[in-house]
Structure 1
Amino acid sequence: MRKLIIFLALFMLLFLGACSDDQEKNAEDSESKENAVTEKDQTNNKNTFPLTGVKTDQSVNNRITSVMINNHRKARPQSGLSKADIVFEILAEGRITRLMAMYQSELPDVAGPVRSAREYYFELANGYDSLYIYHGAANFVNDMIRNRGIEHLDGAHYDNDGHLFKRESFRKPPHNSYLQFGTVYEMAEQNGYDSTQTYEPLPFTTEEEAKNITGDPAANVKIDYSGKSLKYVVEYVYDEDNETYTRFSDGKKTVELNSEEPVTTDNIFIVETEHHVIDDAGRREIDITSGGDACLIQKGKIRHVQWENRDGRIIPVQDGRPVEFVRGKTWINIIPTDPGMSKSVTVSND
């Protein structure tokens, strides 16, 4: 009887071991199949979002939309910046910047507050063949927009219609005009503009190339737009885990108004160029065509490069060749040559 019990016990151990091996094998087979499916899905992602370099199986032919976003202290936090593929940050009047957020791969429900147009912004928007959206402008700027054939939607013509633009009560004008993004393409078509477009992607690295980016350490980047006094400083802080930079204005984290989601970027492209004040209101003329000194910050590293305007797009170059962005979002900070990069930009590994 004792021998029978021992025999049965051994049999059960062998049986359970075989079951365990089968389960492990099935799990391995399942994991292999999942990996194979993932690799197949990645292979099938034949389309590329032109402003981020991200691969997708979705259609990528919706038209780029460039929206003027207010960056006055009374307009912060803004709405929709976390969805933008590229954000240009440039001085308007005084020492406060204005933003132009370019949307294509992701579209927010609401963007804003929306502010007025400037020549250098609409020329940049036109260089990317995008629809340019703003709220109001000086008469001479509106004349330039019409005369140069800039395809645009002006919030002054739709002020508080509740369909394309809405004035919110929690802020005072001019810091309360918000674009209702779901109607943009509809209104574009009503104005005779295309809502679809195909684009050549910007230059991007592969994932493997991105791992091998070299340069000096750049964990913290500060850009002083104030000149001699420290009144307005942009800061980017590197997150090693996510390999992205979180943006700050005047020491406060840039976040979405409703969700408080931080605004992050994968590329920081700082461009130095000539700025000239052209009238008593402090409006500027800014050179966005001649090229010059720049720096490109990615993956916790900084490289000193040049910038060029090629076919209307501002890109980094070195030895005459384009320097590639890493896949993801980009902030392009344009700064004056006076005081220049050496006095305006501080980079550290803290």
Structure 2
Amino acid sequence: MRKLTFFSLLIVLLLTACNEEAGAVQPEDTKEKETAVEEQIETEENVIVDEKEETEQAYTEMFPLTGEPTADKADHRALSVMVNNHTKARPQSGLSQADIVYEILAEGQITRFLALFHSEIPDTIGPVRSARPYYFKIADGFDALYTYHGASMAINQQVASSGIDYLDGAMYDNNGWLFERSSDRSAPHNSYLLTEGVEQAAATKGYDAEGAPEALPFTEKDSFAGTPVDDVQITYGSRTNVRFTYDSENEQFLRSSDGEPTIDRLNEERVAVENVWILETDHQIIDGAGRRVIDLTSGGNGYLLQKGQMKEVEWKNVDGRLLPYKDGSALAFTPGKTWVNIIPGNAAVETE
């Protein structure tokens, strides 16, 4: 519509110019119209310039956990959620929209997820499962609101005394506005977080809603050359294996679990990430149920997968965050989503 207006005004000026060349006498009202036309053109041009400047300014802010541009403010807190990975809990809801997912062994050979959401917040996330200390320590590194459903008395006390802001689904079980039980699955694989209620629950507990996490390092440039890979498989003992297959067209790694593609039940999208970050660290079983203590502080070996390459690196804990390093220098992530696998030394990492 603006282009039509501009060209219409231009035609009027051309016709006026032709009249002047023909020696026509221009009445006073014609001169006034010319002035008005010139002012309108100037206004239209200024509007176009202003809109261009506004568009450029709108995309100067980045989401801190993906490094991707946003036209909206990104000053809200991150939400972290314990997500069940039992076979009876699949497919899960909301994982395709998580900025970062940490996958770690819980008990036995079954992993559990800590999903961090900031750039996108799905309506429903889950199934939600119980807390473990090493998960809420990771969440604390991002000052994220830690959300889980139930835990032993001892672990609940650890969560409460840690100082982290948290929401325990056991306190809101199936209340219809924060947690809801699905009728097509049995407990404990059917509790879902309704994110529309998070703000109300957090406000009730006096938690801040604002305060974006500190940004992770991101770059489009390759830090150093790695080994080309099409497929990476991680095997936890005999029960769980995770596979990442590289999609060269979209420059993403597609996740599978136990031979099945990881699909988001909420939107039926395949879980795909730009970064796969694998960290080796010490795991110790501490009781008969198979609960673990996991070392998140000492650093160690790791693998960083980006743009179809696998890079052998080290990891360090920097202010509660597990970050990649090479020869003492910090490395950056590729803008986009990240999946983190924290594995024991006896887990197998195989490539094709």
**Shared fold per TM-score greater than 0.5:** yes
SS at match of 2:96: helix
Alignment gaps of 5+ in structure 2: 1-47
User: For 2:212 and 2:104, how far apart are their aligned partners in 1?
Assistant: 27
Structural mapping, 1:199-214, within 5 Å? 199-205=213-219, 207=220, 209-210=221-222, 214=225
Q: Structure 2 residue aligned with 1:246, among 254, 260, 266?
A: 254
Q: Distance in 2 between matches of 1:198 and 1:169?
A: 35
Aligned counterpart, 1:66: 80
Corresponding residue for residue 345 of structure 1: 349
Q: Give matches, 1:65-104, under 5 Å.
A: 65-104=79-118
The letter of the residue matching 1:261 is E
Map 1:2-151 onto structure 2 (within 5 A): 41=55, 44-151=58-165
SS at match of 1:136: coil
Name the residue aligned to 1:5. none
Within-5 A mapping of 1:231-310: 231-310=239-318
Say yes or no: does 1:220 pair with 2:199: no
Alpha carbons 2:94, 2:266 under 8 Å: kept: no
Superposed CA offset, 1:24-75 (max 9, x none): xxxxxxxxxx9xx889845641211111011122101111111000000000
- Structure-2 separation of matches of 1:38 and 1:282: 59
Q: Could you say what the CA RMSD is over the residues aligned between the two structures, in angstroms?
A: 1.8
SS at 1:137 equivalent: coil
Superposed displacement of residue 214, structure 1 = 2.3
Retained in 2: the 8 A contact 1:213–1:301? Answer: no
Query: Which 5+ residue runs of structure 1 have no aligned equivalent?
Result: 1-33
Name the CA shift for 1:71/1:151 in 2 (closer, same or farther; >3 Å). same
- CA drift of 1:146 comes to 1.1
Give the corresponding residue for 2:204: 190
The 1:199/1:259 distance shift into structure 2, 3 A limit, reads closer
3-state DSSP of counterpart to 2:201:
helix
Distance between the aligned counterparts of 1:39 and 1:261, measured in 2? 35
Partner Cα distance (2:52, 2:322) in 1? 35
Counterpart in 2 of 1:26?
none
**Is the CA contact (8 Å cut-off) linking 2:142 and 2:214 kept in structure 1?**
no
Quote the Cα distance in structure 1 between the aligned partners of 2:325 and 2:290.
32
Q: Report the equivalent of 2:187.
A: 173
Mapped partners of 2:266, 2:202: distance in 1: 27
Measure how far apart 1:281 and its partner are: 1.2
**CA shift digits 1:234-259 (9 cap, x unpaired):** 00111111000110000000001143
Q: 1:222 to 1:61 in 2, by over 3 A?
A: same
Cα deviation digits, residues 201-234 of structure 1 (max 9, x gap): 10100x3x15x862111110100012xx3x2110
Contact 2:78-2:212 within 8 A present in 1 as well: no
* Count of residue pairs the alignment pairs up: 304
Output the CA distance in 1 between the equivalents of 2:53 and 2:297.
42
Question: Is the deviation greater in 104-113 or in 187-196?
Answer: 187-196
- Once the 2 structures are TM-superposed, how far is the Cα of residue 127 of structure 1 from its aligned partner? 1.2
Change beyond 3 A, Cα 1:38–1:204: farther
Tell me, yes or no, if the aligned pair for 1:213 and 1:299 is still in contact at 8 Å. Answer: no
> Equivalents in 2 of 1:109, 1:40: separation in Å?
30
**Is contact 1:276–1:286 with CA below 8 Å preserved after alignment?**
yes
Give 1:82 deviation, angstroms: 0.4
Amino acid at match of 2:234: I
Moved segments of 4+, more than 6 Å:
37-40
With the length of structure 2 as denominator, give the TM-score of the two structures: 0.83
The percentage of aligned residue pairs carrying the same residue is: 50
- Distance, in Å, in 2 between the alignment partners of 1:213 and 1:57 is 32
Look up the match of 2:26: none
User: Which deviations, in whole Å up to 9, do the C-alpha atoms of 1:170-213 show, x marking residues without a partner?
Assistant: 000000000001111221111111111033210100x3x15x86
| 2-structure distance, mates of 1:106, 1:253 | 22
**Whole-Å Cα distance in 2 between the matches of residues 132 and 198 of structure 1?**
14
Instruction: Tell whether the 8 Å contact from 1:224 to 1:234 is kept in structure 2 after alignment.
Output: yes
Structure 2 residue identity aligned to 1:97: T
Tell me the secondary structure at the aligned position of residue 82 of structure 1. Answer: helix
